[in-house]
Amino acid sequence: MDMLRRDFLIGATALAAASRAVAQGRSGPLGYAIVGLGSYGLDRIIPEFRNCRHSRLAAVVSGDPAKARRVAAEHGLGERAIYSYADFDRIRDNPDVDIVYVCLPNAMHAEYTIRAARAGKHVMCEKPMATSVAEAEAMIAACKRAGRKLMIGYRVHFEPTNLEAMRLARSGVAGRIRYVRSEHGFVQRDPSKWRLKKALSGGGSLMDMGIYSLQAARYMTGEEPIAVTARESTDRRDPRFAEVEDIIDWTLEFPSGAVASCQSMYSANQNHILLMGDKGRIELEPATRYSDNRMWTGADGREQAVVVPPGAAATQFAGQLDHLADCIATGREPIVSGEEGLRDMRIIEAIYRSAREGRTIRLTPGSRA
Ligand code: NAD
Protein backbone atom coordinates (compact mmCIF):
# COMPACT_ATOMS: atom_id res chain seq x y z
CA MET A 1 0.00 0.00 0.00
CA ASP A 2 1.51 3.37 -0.88
CA MET A 3 2.35 5.75 1.98
CA LEU A 4 -0.24 8.39 1.17
CA ARG A 5 -3.06 5.84 1.08
CA ARG A 6 -1.85 4.18 4.27
CA ASP A 7 -1.63 7.58 6.03
CA PHE A 8 -5.13 8.37 4.79
CA LEU A 9 -6.55 5.10 6.16
CA ILE A 10 -4.74 5.51 9.48
CA GLY A 11 -5.90 9.13 9.67
CA ALA A 12 -9.48 8.01 8.94
CA THR A 13 -9.31 5.42 11.76
CA ALA A 14 -8.06 8.04 14.17
CA LEU A 15 -10.71 10.52 13.07
CA ALA A 16 -13.34 7.85 13.71
CA ALA A 17 -11.89 7.33 17.21
CA ALA A 18 -11.98 11.07 17.84
CA SER A 19 -15.59 11.26 16.61
CA ARG A 20 -16.49 8.40 18.96
CA ALA A 21 -15.00 10.42 21.80
CA VAL A 22 -17.17 13.40 20.87
CA ALA A 23 -20.22 11.13 20.45
CA GLN A 24 -19.53 9.71 23.92
CA GLY A 25 -19.80 13.25 25.17
CA ARG A 26 -16.13 13.66 26.15
CA SER A 27 -15.34 17.34 26.39
CA GLY A 28 -13.12 19.58 28.47
CA PRO A 29 -9.34 19.69 28.47
CA LEU A 30 -7.49 17.96 25.65
CA GLY A 31 -5.38 14.94 26.54
CA TYR A 32 -1.59 14.89 26.11
CA ALA A 33 0.60 11.78 25.85
CA ILE A 34 4.13 12.59 27.03
CA VAL A 35 6.74 10.63 25.06
CA GLY A 36 10.00 10.36 27.00
CA LEU A 37 10.00 10.50 30.80
CA GLY A 38 13.39 12.21 31.07
CA SER A 39 14.26 15.38 32.92
CA TYR A 40 12.20 17.72 30.72
CA GLY A 41 9.13 15.54 30.10
CA LEU A 42 8.89 14.17 33.62
CA ASP A 43 10.25 16.89 35.88
CA ARG A 44 9.25 19.99 33.94
CA ILE A 45 6.22 19.29 31.74
CA ILE A 46 4.12 16.70 33.60
CA PRO A 47 3.86 18.77 36.83
CA GLU A 48 2.58 21.70 34.74
CA PHE A 49 -0.76 20.09 33.87
CA ARG A 50 -2.01 21.22 37.26
CA ASN A 51 -1.54 24.82 36.03
CA CYS A 52 -3.40 24.21 32.73
CA ARG A 53 -6.98 25.10 31.90
CA HIS A 54 -7.37 23.34 28.55
CA SER A 55 -4.89 20.45 28.82
CA ARG A 56 -4.47 17.34 30.93
CA LEU A 57 -2.14 14.36 31.11
CA ALA A 58 -3.77 11.39 29.35
CA ALA A 59 -0.91 8.90 28.70
CA VAL A 60 2.81 8.27 29.10
CA VAL A 61 5.25 6.64 26.68
CA SER A 62 8.49 5.26 28.10
CA GLY A 63 11.11 2.56 27.62
CA ASP A 64 11.08 1.93 31.37
CA PRO A 65 7.86 0.05 32.35
CA ALA A 66 8.38 0.46 36.11
CA LYS A 67 8.88 4.24 35.77
CA ALA A 68 5.89 4.51 33.44
CA ARG A 69 3.65 2.59 35.88
CA ARG A 70 4.81 4.75 38.79
CA VAL A 71 4.19 8.03 36.92
CA ALA A 72 0.82 6.81 35.61
CA ALA A 73 -0.29 5.77 39.11
CA GLU A 74 0.83 9.11 40.57
CA HIS A 75 -1.41 10.89 38.06
CA GLY A 76 -4.42 8.61 38.33
CA LEU A 77 -3.88 6.95 34.93
CA GLY A 78 -4.63 3.26 34.37
CA GLU A 79 -2.66 0.56 32.53
CA ARG A 80 -4.33 1.54 29.23
CA ALA A 81 -2.60 4.91 29.39
CA ILE A 82 0.90 3.39 29.36
CA TYR A 83 2.83 2.77 26.13
CA SER A 84 6.33 1.59 25.31
CA TYR A 85 8.26 2.87 22.29
CA ALA A 86 7.55 -0.46 20.55
CA ASP A 87 3.77 -0.32 20.96
CA PHE A 88 3.47 3.47 20.64
CA ASP A 89 1.43 3.20 17.42
CA ARG A 90 -1.46 1.65 19.39
CA ILE A 91 -2.06 5.18 20.65
CA ARG A 92 -4.23 5.73 17.57
CA ASP A 93 -6.96 3.68 19.29
CA ASN A 94 -6.91 5.82 22.44
CA PRO A 95 -9.50 8.59 22.12
CA ASP A 96 -8.30 10.14 25.41
CA VAL A 97 -5.08 11.23 23.66
CA ASP A 98 -5.46 14.27 21.42
CA ILE A 99 -1.84 15.48 21.41
CA VAL A 100 1.50 13.69 21.52
CA TYR A 101 4.30 15.70 23.17
CA VAL A 102 7.73 14.51 21.96
CA CYS A 103 10.33 14.99 24.76
CA LEU A 104 13.01 12.67 23.36
CA PRO A 105 16.62 13.15 22.20
CA ASN A 106 16.68 15.40 19.12
CA ALA A 107 17.34 12.65 16.57
CA MET A 108 14.11 10.89 17.64
CA HIS A 109 11.86 13.94 17.14
CA ALA A 110 11.13 13.28 13.47
CA GLU A 111 10.29 9.59 13.91
CA TYR A 112 7.88 10.13 16.82
CA THR A 113 6.26 13.21 15.28
CA ILE A 114 5.58 11.31 12.07
CA ARG A 115 4.31 8.21 13.92
CA ALA A 116 2.04 10.42 16.07
CA ALA A 117 0.62 12.20 13.00
CA ARG A 118 -0.01 8.82 11.34
CA ALA A 119 -1.88 7.80 14.49
CA GLY A 120 -4.10 10.83 13.92
CA LYS A 121 -2.71 12.87 16.84
CA HIS A 122 -1.69 16.51 16.98
CA VAL A 123 1.96 17.03 17.92
CA MET A 124 3.96 19.23 20.27
CA CYS A 125 7.65 18.60 19.55
CA GLU A 126 10.55 19.82 21.66
CA LYS A 127 13.28 22.08 20.31
CA PRO A 128 15.32 21.71 18.21
CA MET A 129 12.51 20.53 15.96
CA ALA A 130 14.82 18.00 14.24
CA THR A 131 18.43 17.38 13.33
CA SER A 132 18.09 18.50 9.70
CA VAL A 133 15.96 20.54 7.31
CA ALA A 134 14.94 17.33 5.52
CA GLU A 135 13.57 15.82 8.75
CA ALA A 136 11.73 19.04 9.62
CA GLU A 137 10.11 19.13 6.18
CA ALA A 138 9.03 15.48 6.51
CA MET A 139 7.48 16.23 9.92
CA ILE A 140 5.49 19.16 8.54
CA ALA A 141 4.35 17.09 5.55
CA ALA A 142 3.23 14.17 7.77
CA CYS A 143 1.16 16.48 10.02
CA LYS A 144 -0.36 18.22 6.98
CA ARG A 145 -1.28 14.88 5.38
CA ALA A 146 -2.94 13.75 8.59
CA GLY A 147 -4.72 17.10 9.00
CA ARG A 148 -3.08 17.57 12.38
CA LYS A 149 -1.35 20.54 14.02
CA LEU A 150 2.36 20.69 14.75
CA MET A 151 3.81 23.05 17.34
CA ILE A 152 7.41 23.39 18.55
CA GLY A 153 8.16 23.69 22.28
CA TYR A 154 9.45 27.27 22.09
CA ARG A 155 8.30 28.05 25.63
CA VAL A 156 9.90 31.52 25.61
CA HIS A 157 7.05 32.73 23.37
CA PHE A 158 4.80 32.25 26.42
CA GLU A 159 7.21 33.82 28.94
CA PRO A 160 6.09 37.30 30.07
CA THR A 161 9.55 38.97 30.19
CA ASN A 162 10.41 37.85 26.65
CA LEU A 163 6.94 38.81 25.40
CA GLU A 164 7.39 42.27 26.90
CA ALA A 165 10.89 42.51 25.37
CA MET A 166 9.42 41.75 21.92
CA ARG A 167 6.69 44.36 22.49
CA LEU A 168 9.22 46.98 23.63
CA ALA A 169 11.50 46.25 20.65
CA ARG A 170 8.56 46.75 18.25
CA SER A 171 7.40 49.89 20.14
CA GLY A 172 10.63 51.66 19.23
CA VAL A 173 11.68 52.30 22.83
CA ALA A 174 15.30 51.62 21.81
CA GLY A 175 14.90 53.46 18.51
CA ARG A 176 15.99 51.93 15.24
CA ILE A 177 17.37 48.46 15.96
CA ARG A 178 21.07 48.25 15.06
CA TYR A 179 22.39 45.28 16.96
CA VAL A 180 21.31 42.20 18.93
CA ARG A 181 23.66 40.10 21.00
CA SER A 182 22.72 36.81 22.61
CA GLU A 183 24.74 34.09 24.28
CA HIS A 184 23.38 30.88 25.77
CA GLY A 185 25.25 28.02 27.35
CA PHE A 186 25.78 25.73 30.27
CA VAL A 187 28.57 23.45 31.43
CA GLN A 188 28.24 19.89 30.15
CA ARG A 189 30.15 17.72 32.60
CA ASP A 190 29.33 14.13 31.64
CA PRO A 191 30.83 12.93 28.32
CA SER A 192 28.38 9.99 28.21
CA LYS A 193 25.25 12.18 27.81
CA TRP A 194 23.22 11.84 24.59
CA ARG A 195 23.62 15.62 24.04
CA LEU A 196 27.31 14.95 23.30
CA LYS A 197 26.61 12.06 20.88
CA LYS A 198 26.13 13.41 17.39
CA ALA A 199 23.86 10.56 16.26
CA LEU A 200 21.32 11.45 18.98
CA SER A 201 21.78 15.22 19.29
CA GLY A 202 22.49 16.21 15.69
CA GLY A 203 25.07 18.71 16.99
CA GLY A 204 26.45 20.38 20.08
CA SER A 205 25.68 23.59 21.94
CA LEU A 206 24.06 25.20 18.87
CA MET A 207 21.34 22.53 18.71
CA ASP A 208 20.66 22.73 22.43
CA MET A 209 21.22 26.29 23.73
CA GLY A 210 22.22 28.16 20.59
CA ILE A 211 18.67 27.89 19.34
CA TYR A 212 17.68 30.35 22.12
CA SER A 213 20.27 32.86 20.85
CA LEU A 214 19.05 32.34 17.28
CA GLN A 215 15.40 32.71 18.26
CA ALA A 216 16.24 35.87 20.25
CA ALA A 217 17.95 37.42 17.22
CA ARG A 218 14.83 36.73 15.14
CA TYR A 219 12.14 37.75 17.63
CA MET A 220 13.95 40.82 18.91
CA THR A 221 14.57 42.22 15.42
CA GLY A 222 11.31 40.85 13.99
CA GLU A 223 13.26 40.11 10.79
CA GLU A 224 14.54 37.08 8.89
CA PRO A 225 18.32 36.96 8.35
CA ILE A 226 19.74 37.24 4.84
CA ALA A 227 23.30 36.07 5.58
CA VAL A 228 25.23 34.16 8.21
CA THR A 229 28.92 33.95 9.05
CA ALA A 230 30.00 31.43 11.69
CA ARG A 231 33.10 30.24 13.48
CA GLU A 232 33.48 27.23 15.74
CA SER A 233 36.01 27.05 18.62
CA THR A 234 36.15 23.61 20.18
CA ASP A 235 38.95 21.80 21.93
CA ARG A 236 38.53 18.41 20.26
CA ARG A 237 41.00 16.83 22.71
CA ASP A 238 38.41 17.34 25.46
CA PRO A 239 36.55 13.97 25.66
CA ARG A 240 33.21 15.80 25.96
CA PHE A 241 33.67 17.35 22.52
CA ALA A 242 34.92 14.44 20.45
CA GLU A 243 31.71 14.44 18.38
CA VAL A 244 29.99 17.83 18.79
CA GLU A 245 30.94 21.50 19.07
CA ASP A 246 31.50 23.36 22.32
CA ILE A 247 31.65 27.08 21.39
CA ILE A 248 30.17 28.44 18.19
CA ASP A 249 29.80 32.11 17.22
CA TRP A 250 27.68 33.38 14.36
CA THR A 251 26.71 36.73 12.92
CA LEU A 252 23.37 37.28 11.22
CA GLU A 253 22.72 40.14 8.80
CA PHE A 254 19.15 41.41 8.51
CA PRO A 255 17.47 43.28 5.63
CA SER A 256 17.20 46.53 7.69
CA GLY A 257 20.97 46.58 8.20
CA ALA A 258 20.69 45.33 11.79
CA VAL A 259 23.24 42.73 12.83
CA ALA A 260 22.99 39.96 15.42
CA SER A 261 26.02 38.50 17.09
CA CYS A 262 25.19 35.14 18.69
CA GLN A 263 27.02 32.49 20.60
CA SER A 264 26.42 29.18 22.32
CA MET A 265 28.67 27.03 24.45
CA TYR A 266 28.81 23.84 26.50
CA SER A 267 31.73 24.99 28.68
CA ALA A 268 30.29 28.09 30.44
CA ASN A 269 27.00 29.21 31.93
CA GLN A 270 25.49 32.14 30.06
CA ASN A 271 21.92 33.28 29.41
CA HIS A 272 21.71 36.77 27.92
CA ILE A 273 19.97 38.93 25.30
CA LEU A 274 20.92 42.54 24.46
CA LEU A 275 19.24 44.73 21.87
CA MET A 276 20.87 48.07 20.94
CA GLY A 277 19.01 50.73 19.02
CA ASP A 278 19.96 54.28 18.09
CA LYS A 279 18.04 55.55 21.17
CA GLY A 280 18.90 52.97 23.79
CA ARG A 281 18.92 49.35 24.82
CA ILE A 282 16.78 46.46 26.02
CA GLU A 283 18.71 43.89 28.01
CA LEU A 284 17.67 40.59 29.58
CA GLU A 285 19.77 38.54 32.01
CA PRO A 286 18.97 35.84 32.77
CA ALA A 287 16.93 35.95 29.62
CA THR A 288 15.32 32.60 28.89
CA ARG A 289 15.38 30.62 32.13
CA TYR A 290 12.41 28.68 33.49
CA SER A 291 11.69 31.54 35.94
CA ASP A 292 13.02 34.84 37.33
CA ASN A 293 14.16 36.35 34.01
CA ARG A 294 15.06 40.04 34.37
CA MET A 295 15.06 42.98 31.97
CA TRP A 296 16.32 46.58 31.83
CA THR A 297 15.78 49.31 29.33
CA GLY A 298 17.03 52.88 28.88
CA ALA A 299 20.11 54.64 27.55
CA ASP A 300 23.45 56.14 28.48
CA GLY A 301 23.84 54.42 31.85
CA ARG A 302 20.34 55.37 33.00
CA GLU A 303 18.83 51.93 32.37
CA GLN A 304 15.96 50.92 34.63
CA ALA A 305 14.56 47.55 35.56
CA VAL A 306 11.30 46.73 33.81
CA VAL A 307 8.76 45.15 36.14
CA VAL A 308 6.79 42.68 34.05
CA PRO A 309 3.38 41.64 35.38
CA PRO A 310 2.58 37.92 35.30
CA GLY A 311 1.10 36.66 32.05
CA ALA A 312 -2.38 35.29 31.50
CA ALA A 313 -1.13 31.72 32.06
CA ALA A 314 0.18 30.55 35.44
CA THR A 315 3.57 29.67 33.88
CA GLN A 316 5.22 29.73 30.44
CA PHE A 317 4.88 25.91 30.31
CA ALA A 318 1.14 25.96 31.03
CA GLY A 319 0.73 28.77 28.50
CA GLN A 320 2.51 26.68 25.87
CA LEU A 321 0.49 23.51 26.61
CA ASP A 322 -2.83 25.36 26.62
CA HIS A 323 -1.97 27.31 23.45
CA LEU A 324 -1.87 24.15 21.33
CA ALA A 325 -5.08 22.84 22.93
CA ASP A 326 -6.73 26.18 22.22
CA CYS A 327 -5.48 26.23 18.61
CA ILE A 328 -6.94 22.75 18.07
CA ALA A 329 -10.28 23.79 19.56
CA THR A 330 -10.48 27.00 17.53
CA GLY A 331 -8.78 25.86 14.30
CA ARG A 332 -5.95 28.42 14.57
CA GLU A 333 -2.27 27.83 13.72
CA PRO A 334 0.09 27.78 16.72
CA ILE A 335 2.25 30.93 17.00
CA VAL A 336 5.30 28.64 16.99
CA SER A 337 4.33 26.15 14.31
CA GLY A 338 6.38 23.53 12.51
CA GLU A 339 7.19 26.18 9.87
CA GLU A 340 8.78 28.32 12.59
CA GLY A 341 10.92 25.37 13.67
CA LEU A 342 11.88 24.76 10.03
CA ARG A 343 13.05 28.39 9.66
CA ASP A 344 15.48 27.81 12.53
CA MET A 345 16.63 24.48 11.11
CA ARG A 346 17.48 26.18 7.79
CA ILE A 347 19.57 28.81 9.60
CA ILE A 348 21.22 26.18 11.82
CA GLU A 349 22.30 24.19 8.76
CA ALA A 350 23.72 27.40 7.27
CA ILE A 351 25.59 28.20 10.52
CA TYR A 352 27.27 24.78 10.48
CA ARG A 353 28.02 25.11 6.79
CA SER A 354 29.53 28.57 7.22
CA ALA A 355 31.76 27.36 10.09
CA ARG A 356 32.82 24.31 8.06
CA GLU A 357 33.53 26.16 4.82
CA GLY A 358 34.88 29.36 6.41
CA ARG A 359 32.68 31.70 4.38
CA THR A 360 29.49 33.74 4.58
CA ILE A 361 26.33 31.87 3.54
CA ARG A 362 23.52 33.88 1.93
CA LEU A 363 20.03 32.93 3.07
CA THR A 364 16.86 33.14 1.05
CA PRO A 365 13.90 33.12 3.40
CA GLY A 366 11.76 30.06 2.64
CA SER A 367 14.44 28.14 0.76
CA ARG A 368 17.21 25.75 1.66
CA ALA A 369 20.51 27.44 2.55
P1 NAD B 1 16.81 13.46 29.07
O2 NAD B 1 18.07 12.75 28.73
O3 NAD B 1 16.61 13.90 30.48
O4 NAD B 1 15.55 12.56 28.66
C5 NAD B 1 15.48 11.89 27.43
C6 NAD B 1 14.40 10.83 27.48
O7 NAD B 1 14.44 10.10 26.27
C8 NAD B 1 14.62 9.81 28.62
O9 NAD B 1 13.36 9.44 29.15
C10 NAD B 1 15.25 8.63 27.89
O11 NAD B 1 15.00 7.38 28.54
C12 NAD B 1 14.51 8.71 26.55
N13 NAD B 1 15.22 8.00 25.48
C14 NAD B 1 14.62 7.16 24.60
N15 NAD B 1 15.52 6.67 23.74
C16 NAD B 1 16.71 7.17 24.11
C17 NAD B 1 18.03 6.99 23.61
N18 NAD B 1 18.30 6.20 22.56
N19 NAD B 1 19.03 7.66 24.22
C20 NAD B 1 18.79 8.50 25.26
N21 NAD B 1 17.55 8.70 25.78
C22 NAD B 1 16.52 8.02 25.20
O23 NAD B 1 16.70 14.69 28.06
P24 NAD B 1 15.79 15.98 28.25
O25 NAD B 1 16.58 17.04 28.91
O26 NAD B 1 14.49 15.59 28.86
O27 NAD B 1 15.60 16.43 26.71
C28 NAD B 1 14.58 15.87 25.89
C29 NAD B 1 14.22 16.89 24.80
O30 NAD B 1 13.68 18.04 25.43
C31 NAD B 1 15.41 17.37 23.97
O32 NAD B 1 15.02 17.53 22.63
C33 NAD B 1 15.75 18.73 24.56
O34 NAD B 1 16.31 19.64 23.62
C35 NAD B 1 14.38 19.20 25.01
N36 NAD B 1 14.47 20.14 26.15
C37 NAD B 1 13.82 21.32 26.05
C38 NAD B 1 13.87 22.23 27.08
C39 NAD B 1 13.13 23.52 26.98
O40 NAD B 1 13.32 24.38 27.85
N41 NAD B 1 12.26 23.68 26.00
C42 NAD B 1 14.62 21.93 28.24
C43 NAD B 1 15.25 20.69 28.31
C44 NAD B 1 15.17 19.79 27.26
The structural domain count of the chain equals 2
Could you confirm whether 127 is annotated as catalytic? yes
Residue of minimum CA distance from atom 6 in ligand 1: 38
Q: What is the pLDDT of residue 10?
A: 38
Residue 321 forms part of a structural domain: no
Q: Quick one: 209 and 355 in the same domain? A: yes
Contact 168, 174 (CB under 8 A): yes
CA of 277 to the centre of ligand 1 (A): 37
Contact 346, 368 (CB under 8 A): yes
Nearest atom in ligand 1 to the alpha carbon of residue 207 is: 34
Pocket test for ligand 1, best of 46, 103, 293 (most atoms within 8 A of CB): 103
Q: Quick one: 123 and 238 in the same domain? A: no
Nearest atom in ligand 1 to the alpha carbon of residue 194 is: 20
Residue 333 forms part of a structural domain: no
Residue 40 Cβ inside 6 Å of ligand 1? The answer reads yes
Residue of minimum CA distance from atom 31 in ligand 1: 105
Local structure of 220: helix, strand or coil: helix
**20-47 per-position pLDDT tens digit:** 343 334 579 999 999 999 999 999 999 9
Q: Quick one: 167 and 104 in the same domain? A: no
Q: What is the pLDDT of residue 365?
A: 66
Q: Quick one: 101 and 63 in the same domain? A: yes
Residue 104 Cβ inside 6 Å of ligand 1? The answer reads yes
Residue 324 forms part of a structural domain: no
**257-300 per-position pLDDT tens digit:** 999 999 999 999 999 999 999 999 999 999 999 999 999 999 98
Over residues 56-78, the mean pLDDT reads: 98
**193-246 per-position pLDDT tens digit:** 999 999 999 999 999 999 999 999 999 999 999 999 999 999 999 999 999 999
Residue 318 forms part of a structural domain: no
**328-369 per-position pLDDT tens digit:** 999 999 999 999 999 999 999 999 999 999 999 999 865 544
What value does the mean pLDDT of the chain take? 93
Considering the chain, what percentage of its residues have pLDDT values greater than 90?
Answer: 91
Q: Quick one: 131 and 196 in the same domain? A: no
What is the signed CA dihedral for 147, 163, 218, 261, rounded to 10 degrees?
-150
Q: Quick one: 178 and 285 in the same domain? A: yes
Measured distance CA(139)–CA(131) in Å, rounded: 12
Q: Quick one: 172 and 295 in the same domain? A: yes
Q: Can you give the CATH number for the domain in which 136 is found?
A: 3.40.50.720
Residue 336 forms part of a structural domain: no
Q: Quick one: 348 and 232 in the same domain? A: yes
Residue 181 forms part of a structural domain: yes
Residue 191 has pLDDT above 80, yes or no: yes
CA of 20 to the centre of ligand 1 (A): 33
Q: What is the pLDDT of residue 22?
A: 39
**288-327 per-position pLDDT tens digit:** 999 999 999 999 889 999 999 999 999 999 999 999 999 9
Could you confirm whether 67 is annotated as catalytic? no
CA of 31 to the centre of ligand 1 (A): 21
Residue 94 has pLDDT above 60, yes or no: yes
Among residues 112, 127, 154, 266, the one annotated as catalytic is 127
Q: Give the structural domain span for 262.
A: 156-309+344-367
Q: For the chain, where are the alpha helices, taking DSSP H only?
A: 3-23, 65-74, 109-118, 133-146, 160-171, 198-201, 205, 211-221, 316-330, 338-357
Over residues 131-142, the mean pLDDT reads: 98
Q: What is the pLDDT of residue 183?
A: 98
- How, if at all, do strands 150-152 and 122-125 pair? parallel
Over residues 94-108, the mean pLDDT reads: 98
Q: Which of 135, 153, 171 is the last residue of a domain?
A: 153
**104-132 per-position pLDDT tens digit:** 999 999 999 999 999 999 999 999 999 99
Q: What is the pLDDT of residue 16?
A: 40
Does the predicted model carry a pTM greater than 0.75?
yes
Q: What is the pLDDT of residue 11?
A: 38
Local structure of 106: helix, strand or coil: helix
Q: Can you give the CATH number for the domain in which 173 is found?
A: 3.30.360.10
Residue 316 Cβ inside 6 Å of ligand 1? The answer reads no
Q: Which of 98, 123, 153 is the last residue of a domain?
A: 153
Q: Quick one: 272 and 165 in the same domain? A: yes
Contact 34, 45 (CB under 8 A): yes
- How, if at all, do strands 122-125 and 99-102 pair? parallel
Q: What is the pLDDT of residue 364?
A: 86
Q: Quick one: 186 and 46 in the same domain? A: no
Q: Quick one: 180 and 250 in the same domain? A: yes
Q: Quick one: 283 and 357 in the same domain? A: yes
Among residues 101, 112, 154, 212, the one annotated as catalytic is 212
